[in-house]
Amino acid sequence: MALPIGTVLDGKFKIVQILGEGGMGTVYKVEQIGTPPGTPPYYYAVKELLINPNTSEEDRKAAIDRFNKEIALLRGLKHPRIAALMLPFQERGNYYFVMEFVPGRSLEKILENARGPLPEEQVIKWMVQVCEALTYIHTRNPPIILRDLKPGNIMVSQDDEVQLIDFGIARRFDPNKRTNTENLGTISYASPEHLGSITMPGQRRSAHNPGKLVQTDARSDIYSLGATMYHLLTNYEPDPIQTPPQGGVLAKNPRLRTVQLGNKTVCPVEQVIIKAMQQDPAQRFQSAEAMRVALLQCLPNAAPATIQMPVMSPNATIVVPTNTGAASGVAGGIICPKCGFQNRPGAKFCKRDGQPLVQGATIAPPQIRAQAVRAPIQARPIRQPIQPRPIQSQPIKPRPVQSNGRIQPRPAQPIQARPVGTPTAVDPMAAYRAGLQALAAKNYSEAIRQFKLAQSQGVSAYDALYNLGRAYRQYGQSVRETDSRLFKENMKHAAEYFEDALRVKSDALDARFQLGMCYRDLALYPLAMTAFKQAQQTAPNDPAVYYQLGLVALEQGLTGEAVSYLKRGLEINPDHALILIALGRIYIDMKNQLPAAISTLFHAAQIDPALWEAWYELGRAHMKEKEWNHALSALRRAQQVNAHSASIYSAMATCFFNLKKKSDARQMVSEALNLDPKNAEAIRLQKQL
């Protein structure tokens, strides 16, 4: 809790204003006591470390250590664009430090008051100054990485001078580390490295695929600066860990300056943002100075020839991901027609729901209703684009859940007659197509906006509601590993829209299937089972439905029922790799079923050798039979497909240990613990070795 106004700290600083409160501390504006009469007051900023009384001793020590590290970092920084440290002190058992007070407003506050995108030229000039501050800290020895660059941590004075504040999670770069000690930051502005690893293009981060271990470096702050610019110039928070698609920034702010280069129209500042926010750090600007130069070229008085960044320069090349559209997905992957998951190129089945995939399949356009005198069914007005943090002024509130676990339907709205003379949409499909493109590009807030617009212009209610559900669900999936609250909130919204779609078209298999997936994600297993059984009635020969029924039964501990459903799916399609893997996993834990497990999992691995889980589970089955060499052979195949799974290395370590190859076992244990320091199998073997 913040201290009262008027409290005196360290005998000489009187609190006159609370500047900010957060999970890690409170910042006060204080006036120095005892200044000579007639002289203007001296103001400072005092940061207080907040420690919850219920915090464990370990977490308390970590918080104090982080606070002291911030003080140590600030002691050595002297730059006009960085608030200077004045004095640390302790009082009443609490920790404080005094800093230079920066008069003005944060860019977050400026953006909030503007209620729209900020002027392009002014943003560029502010960001040039930020680059100067970043260049200073990045060139320290060792370099200092800010890690929490965002509009709220950039102050602007009345004469438009910029200063960086809040070095609370900044760190010194350590070239000997493989990943960060702590993965902190604000998710909207955080680079992929903030999560401790990066994944290959088209791959989804998960517990089984954590990605290649990396640590944040100077280029991570470059990403955050690009994300900050995106927010300031569009008034939309960027989607977490996403590179904006080509044209996406300009679409949100058509007033941005463009130039003509040959036959192409280019928005220079958009190009800078896209480059800064590349997923691969090697494709971003390699220094803040390189980005500063590029930003200067975006100003109106820059010579046109300097806008096109030369290809031969690694610090200037603009790399833009290809947008392949809604049907084929991005990066060559195949989009599942049921759940929207982007699978690897050449995949035969969706890795998430088991749906058979068709190369080159397209999404069928909806049928447009004949122009009638009634407006389409109204969906809830979108209050704000989906954001990683709820907007406090208008939070998104999921509908209450009834005692039986069902999500309550929203009240029916009367269908109102369209006033005479109201012009009809020239092309009601334009917004729908834009929504599909935004969804394929993972720009979920834009997809929702476009689908709602399409609905208002006459696209069928079912298609609009169904795709609104898809957008919410896919957004929820994108934050599943990083924000459980946001994941659940968006799954509830998705379930609402799929329910609404089914009220319009009760026999729609896709909506029923998606609803079951949402219920399963929310751990509402009885409702999920009901939804999939209803889908089964509509499509009794769809193996994907039996796959889901089997998984839901298994998650409820109903092993016999799960086996029955999975076997029924195999009767329809004996080569369904994901069903075979699920069945093989069950057989491993059943008495006298190890031969069946090995046979089933080997079949799955032969059908789709790129499914590393098939090889991994096959290795586990051989391990249970104590066939260590056969197990190693299968696990090496799994490692070839996925080199970043701690579970594979720990399993290989167990095999080597039992083969009396302790040196190899130690190496595998080391690899497993580097990827996952909490891997139980590796920790147990380490003690034995």
- Which residue, among 198, 168, 194, 200, has the nearest Cα to 181 in the 3D structure? 194
Please give the average per-residue pLDDT across 440-457, as a whole number.
Answer: 86
Residue spans in the chain of domains classed CATH 3.30.200.20? 8-100
pLDDT in tens, 138-161: 887 778 888 788 998 898 988 888
47 is in an annotated binding site: yes
Please give the pLDDT value at position 181: 39
Omega of the bond prior to 142 within 30 degrees of 0, cis?
A: yes
Edge-to-edge strand order for the sheet containing 162-164? 105-106, 154-156, 162-164
Q: Is residue 368 very low, low, confident or very high in pLDDT (cuts 50, 70, 90)?
A: very low
Q: What gap in Å lies between CA 320 and CA 317, rounded to an integer? A: 10
Q: What gap in Å lies between CA 244 and CA 231, rounded to an integer? A: 11
Residue spans in the chain of domains classed CATH 1.10.510.10? 105-306
Does the pLDDT value for residue 171 go beyond 50? no
Q: Which two tokens stand for residue 51?
A: 């420690």
What contacts 426, CB < 8 A, 6 or more positions away?
none
Q: Which has the higher per-residue pLDDT, 329 or 242?
A: 242
Backbone angles phi, psi at 439, to 5 degrees: -65, -40
Task: Judge contact between 474 and 446, C-beta under 8 A.
Answer: no
The 10 Å Cβ neighbour count of residue 88 is 18
Q: Is residue 184 very low, low, confident or very high in pLDDT (cuts 50, 70, 90)?
A: very low
pLDDT in tens, 269-318: 999 999 999 988 888 898 888 899 899 989 887 644 333 343 323 333 33
Please give the pLDDT value at position 23: 59
> What is the domain class of 105-306 according to CATH?
mainly alpha
What contacts 375, CB < 8 A, 6 or more positions away?
415, 416, 417, 418, 456
Q: Does the domain spanning 8-100 belong to CATH 3.20.20.140?
A: no
Does the pLDDT value for residue 421 go beyond 60? no
Of 240-244, 423-427, 670-674, the poorest mean pLDDT is in 423-427
pLDDT in tens, 84-139: 776 778 887 778 888 878 788 889 989 999 989 999 999 999 999 999 889 888 88
pLDDT over 70 for what percent of the chain? 74
Q: What gap in Å lies between CA 456 and CA 439, rounded to an integer? A: 19
pTM: 0.46
